[in-house]
Amino acid sequence: MKATREALTLLDIPKQLTMLPGHGWRPPDAGCVKINTDGAINFADGKGGAGGVARSSDRLIGAWSKPLLGITDPLIAESMALREGVLFARLRGISRVIMETDCMEVVNLWKTRHNSRSIVAPLLEEIGELASSFISFDIQHVIRTSNYPAHLCAKRASTLNVTESWMDETPSFLFSCLLADCPASAYV
């Protein structure tokens, strides 16, 4: 049954994920973990969601979808998703972390967080404090198509009432996009 399901899932790789060589998601160097995060807003239900996917150079470490009840501001949702990614790494003892987000505004605010009056400045300061114990830590901007797995997790989270998480396993709704990200990988 599992083999049949996986074979059928392979046929369902979304066409919009086709990318030019060198423009997709790239695995981190060995010993480092790359965590993609995204925020989403469900205006109909008046709530947001934070989603993320953590991967090393050779495996999926985990993914999560966390509802953000009462959050309807996209910048706050993106910042809270980033904080969730940092918490994920810290709670699992990961010490070399690259965070990726498709929100350029959050990346720019991170770079100027010490002089910022933004509404998300306290969240960014908290992220800095949480990340201070890491050996290496960086926040980078990626194009939206490279952040698609995290986007799917965030979109799912904006419809939930409780957090869902997956450790060392690939949830079925991420199978196709993880395979499209890195076809030769062991993520799926």
Kindly give the pairing relationship between strand 96-101 and strand 136-141.
Answer: parallel
Give the pLDDT of residue 21.
Answer: 47
| Dist CA 101 CA 82 (whole Å) | 8
pLDDT at residue 12 is higher than 60: no
| Dist CA 105 CA 169 (whole Å) | 32
User: What does the mean pLDDT of the chain come to?
Assistant: 87
- Helix 104-111, helix 74-91: angle, nearest 10: 70
CATH code assigned to 28-181: 3.30.420.10
Q: Which run of H or of E encompasses 116?
A: none
Q: Which run of H or of E encompasses 79?
A: helix 74-91
Please state the pTM of the whole predicted model.
Answer: 0.85
From residue 128, alpha-carbon distances to 35, 111, 135 in Å are: 16, 11, 13
pLDDT in tens, 52-93: 999 998 889 999 999 999 999 999 999 999 999 999 999 999
| Dist CA 62 CA 157 (whole Å) | 15
User: How is the chain split into domains, by residue range?
Assistant: 28-181
Q: How many CA atoms lie within 13 A of 141 on its CB side?
A: 10
**Helix, strand or coil, per DSSP, at residue 109:** helix
Give the pLDDT of residue 20.
Answer: 46
Give the pLDDT of residue 19.
Answer: 46
| Dist CA 11 CA 64 (whole Å) | 25
Q: How confident is the model at residue 15 (pLDDT cuts 50, 70, 90)?
A: very low
| Dist CA 99 CA 71 (whole Å) | 22
